[in-house]
Structure 1
Amino acid sequence: MPPTDASTDADTAPFTDIGTATSAGARESRGGPAADASADGEDTLDVPLPDEITALFAEDTGGGVAGSLGGGSAAGAAAAPVPDPVARPVPESEPVLDVPGGPMPDPPAAPAPTSDLSVAEDLLDHIGDWGPISTPAGVLHLVPVRVDRDLPIIDRWMNDPAVAAFWGLAGSQNATEEHLRTHLAGDGRSVPCLGLLEGTPMSYWEIYRADLDPLARHYPARPHDTGVHLLIGAVGDRGRGLGGTLLRAVADLTFDKRPACARIVAEPDIRNTPSVAAFLSAGFRFSAEVDLPTKRAALMVRDRSLRHLL
């Protein structure tokens, strides 16, 4: 279960991210009994052929059809049957199936399933390739989470009482691991990232497609709206304006790397006043209060058109 919000000084606002994708295929079969076969074995009528049809067969001395599709004499056509326009030649190297009605080539192999990472990159424009960004506090780099590498430090942050009050992931490391794996195993609409400031891990981020998130049921979402959750990890990094500085930088980076995105949104718990203040200082505007399943949230919005004014 995703968190309800960030810590008091974490400048976050988490939410549940879900998604599925399926695909299917089918093959056409050939052969089988005639559709008009009699069920009780009754004899069929002996219908005589018209004289014109009989004469046509009499002219076909070579087993072909009189005349040719490309012109020429009737004699030449009789010696060279016209190819079946439906059939196609099968290269010797192509595997075939032994089916009624003649050999039929194998259908092309289904494409390999796309990995979770490539799906994620499609939905959020290759977050792993966004690269570092300069901020007044130093160079920040968002790196997609690897559970085997990042779980211990993220779990330690989640067990900070100030963080646990809003994220709700304190206790066993299994809770944090399940939370991370849920995002990583999804269809890519939410990507958890570790924030490295001057090379040092100090924050946890979730960049997500707000228009594809359950949040979209609670506000007038637009295509490619991008959401952000932030957790400042170290206690010493909180309460000195760092959250607002990093939020502004990540919002600008998102606009630069996601040209289709016109708005960035967040939904911190309305009680988390330091978090709301951090979003305001980062150029977000307060849009509305919304009742979400786990909290009453402040909907914060940063508009691309106002990015240089706020």
Structure 2
Amino acid sequence: MSDLFERHIDGYGTVRVRPLDPAGDAEVVHAWVSEERAAFWGMTGLTRSQVADVYAHMATLDTHHAHLVTKDGEPAALLQTYEPGADRVGETYEVRPGDIGLHVLLAPAGPAGRRPGWTSALLTGMTAYALLALGRRRIVVDPDVRNTRAIARFRRQGFETGPAVVLPEVDIPDVHLPAKHARLAFLTRQAAFPDDPA
């Protein structure tokens, strides 16, 4: 699949974003979501086939999109973008024109272990995609309130912490999501990229 976005980040490498291939990327995504550290992603009990089915369903939607993010050609993150007004998060805050929602799952650390600056650079690439390439004004994220590491990571990235909310249960054909206690956080284009003329 062709890339949707590419950005070189000095001292880090090149971040690319492309559409997720539900079948072709199922093995790598299944490995990531099956790890204990990905418990908040909510897919730890699914088989590879079920993971592929989830993303095949998402590929039929106009409001929710899944992407594979690579760093210098190597898979580095799973990125989901969505329209907050068409998502349960839109029931918990006042959605503004130009908002976009993000869900992010980073690849596990490689054999070398933790990489200082790696997460920040990768998130910079993903926020550039959402705010600059897609022309959005503000990102909303909704990590589980228990996922303190993710909340702290978003704060360090410049996100402004919002309220704790309860995302309502979703139970419709093809989709079941239990209620979720989340902490909203927001990042505006001006805060993230003040020197960008867009």
Q: Report the TM range for the smaller structure's normalisation.
A: 0.7 to 0.9
Question: 1:238: Cα distance to partner?
Answer: 5.6
Question: Residue deviations 1:96-128, cap 9 Å, x none?
Answer: xxxxxxxxxxxxxxxxxxxxxxxxxxxxxxxx6
Aligned to 2:76: 202
Aligned to 2:65: 191
| Structure 1: stretches of 5+ with no match in the other structure | 1-127
Higher relative contact order (CA 8 A, sep 6+): 1
- Equivalent-residue separation in structure 1 for 2:77 and 2:57 (angstroms): 19
Q: Aligned pair 1:302/2:187, yes or no?
A: yes
Q: Aligned pair 1:148/2:23, yes or no?
A: yes
> Pairwise CA RMSD of aligned residues?
2.0
**Contact 2:4/2:18 (8 A) holds in 1:** no
| Structure 2: stretches of 5+ with no match in the other structure | 169-178
CA 1:199–1:286 in structure 2 vs 1: closer, same or farther (change >3 Å)? same
- Equivalent-residue separation in structure 2 for 1:287 and 1:183 (angstroms): 27
- Equivalent-residue separation in structure 1 for 2:126 and 2:41 (angstroms): 21
CA 1:271–1:143 in structure 2 vs 1: closer, same or farther (change >3 Å)? same
TM-score (norm 1): 0.54
Aligned to 1:281: 156
**Contact 2:88/2:167 (8 A) holds in 1:** no
Number of residue pairs matched? 179
Q: Pick from 42, 63, 85: which aligns with 1:168?
A: 42
Question: 1:149: Cα distance to partner?
Answer: 1.2
- Equivalent-residue separation in structure 2 for 1:298 and 1:242 (angstroms): 24
Aligned to 1:245: 121
Question: 1:246: Cα distance to partner?
Answer: 1.7
Letter in 2 for 1:220: E
Question: 1:241: Cα distance to partner?
Answer: 4.5
**What percent identity do the matched residue pairs reach?**
26
**Contact 2:67/2:80 (8 A) holds in 1:** yes
Question: 1:240: Cα distance to partner?
Answer: 4.2
Question: 1:232: Cα distance to partner?
Answer: 1.1
Aligned to 1:218: 92
Structure exhibiting the larger radius of gyration computed from Cα positions: 1
Question: 1:299: Cα distance to partner?
Answer: 0.5
Structure 1 or 2: more strand by fraction:
2
Question: Residue deviations 1:49-74, cap 9 Å, x none?
Answer: xxxxxxxxxxxxxxxxxxxxxxxxxx
CA 1:160–1:286 in structure 2 vs 1: closer, same or farther (change >3 Å)? same
Q: Pick from 140, 143, 159: which aligns with 1:268?
A: 143
Question: 1:129: Cα distance to partner?
Answer: 5.7
Q: Any idea what SS the aligned residue of 2:5 has?
A: coil
Structure 1 runs of 4+ with >6 Å offset: none
Question: 1:216: Cα distance to partner?
Answer: 0.7
CA 1:129–1:174 in structure 2 vs 1: closer, same or farther (change >3 Å)? closer
Question: 1:307: Cα distance to partner?
Answer: 2.4
**Contact 1:209/1:224 (8 A) holds in 2:** no
TM-score (norm 2): 0.81
